[in-house]
Amino acid sequence: MTDSDGKPGQGPAAPDGEPEYADRVYRSVPGVISGVLLLVVAAWLIGDAVVSGTGKTPYVSLAAVPVFAFPVIAYTLRPAVTAGRDRLVVRNPWRTVVAPWASVDALRAGYSVELLAGGKKFQVWAVPVSLRQRKRATRAQNPSAAEHASRTGLGLGMAKRTNPVVQGSPDPTRAWSDQVTAVLQELAERNAARPAAAGPVEVRWCWWVIAPTLLGLVALITVIAV
C-alpha cells in the first residue's frame, strides 16, 4: 500500500497490533529492460526464420524458442527479492529461497549480494552490485577522499562504511545494492524476534523454467540430428 506521495503506506493493524505494511519488492530495472529487449529481438529473428526459412530452418528455429526464451526469462525477468513481515523471499533464476527472518544470519554486499541463512549462502541475483555506482557514491560522499581511494584501491571499503540508508530516501553516497542490503539487514534484525518469523529455510526449484528448457533442448538436438 502506498500513500499520495508514492511511498509505502500504513495499512490496517496486523493481528499482533502492529501496523501492516505492504511487502517491499526489489529487482534490477536494467536487467528487466535487457530481458525484454532480448526477447523482442529473438521473437523477430525466429519469426523471420519460420516464415522465410527453408529446409530444417523453421523447425530448428521453433525448437530453439524454449532453449533461449526460458533462460532469458530466468536470468532477467524472474529475479526479485520480496521482504515481508515474517520472511524474506529471494527469487533467483533457477531457485526460490524462502528465509524466515529468524533464520537470516546476515546479508552482505561484496562483489555480489549474499544471503546467509540456515547455515548456507545464497546469491541474490535481483540486486546486482555495480562497482561503478560505488565509485560514484564514494565521490559524492567525499570528493577529496574519493581521489585518494582511487589511487590506493580503498574505494570498495569506503563505500561500505557509509551511514545506513534512510527508508524512502535514496542516498547518493551509497550504491543501490549497498542501500538495499542495509535495509534488508535492518528488517532481519528488527523482525527476527517475532514468533511468526521463525522456521527453517526453504529452497524450491523453479521447474516451470527448468523443464521447458530441458525439453526444448532435447527437441532441438532431435530436429538437428534427423
- Three-state SS letters, 23-54: CEEECCHHHHHHHHHHHHHHHHHHHHHHHHCC
C-alpha torsion 180→186→187→192, nearest 10 = 140
pLDDT for 118 beyond 80: yes
On whether both 125 and 37 belong to a single domain, the answer is: no
pLDDT at 166: 36
Say if 12 falls within a structural domain. Answer: no
Highest mean pLDDT out of 15-19, 70-74, 157-161, 163-167:
70-74
On whether both 27 and 64 belong to a single domain, the answer is: yes
- State which residues form the domain around 193: 80-140+171-204
pLDDT bin (cut points 50, 70, 90) of residue 160 is very low
Say if 15 falls within a structural domain. Answer: no
On whether both 48 and 130 belong to a single domain, the answer is: no
pLDDT for 46 beyond 50: yes
On whether both 89 and 193 belong to a single domain, the answer is: yes
Classify each residue of 18-32 as buried b or exposed e, where b means 16 or more C-beta atoms within 10 Å of its C-beta.
eeeeeebebbbeebb
DSSP per position, 51-80: HH--TTHHHHHHHHHHHHHHHHIIIIIS-E
On whether both 94 and 197 belong to a single domain, the answer is: yes
pLDDT at 35: 97
pLDDT for 188 beyond 90: yes
On whether both 62 and 89 belong to a single domain, the answer is: no
Say if 157 falls within a structural domain. Answer: no
pLDDT at 146: 46
Say if 85 falls within a structural domain. Answer: yes
On whether both 133 and 198 belong to a single domain, the answer is: yes
Say if 214 falls within a structural domain. Answer: yes
Rounded CA-CA distance 142/139 in Å is 5
Mean pLDDT of 32-55: 95
C-alpha torsion 11→26→170→6, nearest 10 = -40
Say if 197 falls within a structural domain. Answer: yes
Q: Which residues pair with 45 in a beta bridge?
A: none
Q: What are phi and psi of 153, to 5 degrees?
A: 80, 20
On whether both 113 and 93 belong to a single domain, the answer is: yes
Say if 152 falls within a structural domain. Answer: no
Angle of CA points 120, 121, 123, to nearest 5°: 150
Residue 19's identity, in one-letter code, is P
Task: Look over the chain and give the mean of its residue pLDDT values, rounded to a whole number.
Answer: 83
On whether both 31 and 96 belong to a single domain, the answer is: no
pLDDT bin (cut points 50, 70, 90) of residue 4 is very low
On whether both 86 and 131 belong to a single domain, the answer is: yes
Say if 13 falls within a structural domain. Answer: no
Rounded CA-CA distance 62/39 in Å is 14
Mean pLDDT of 93-101: 97
Mean pLDDT of 81-106: 96
Count of structural domains, the chain? 2
On whether both 112 and 212 belong to a single domain, the answer is: no
pLDDT for 226 beyond 80: yes
On whether both 130 and 221 belong to a single domain, the answer is: no
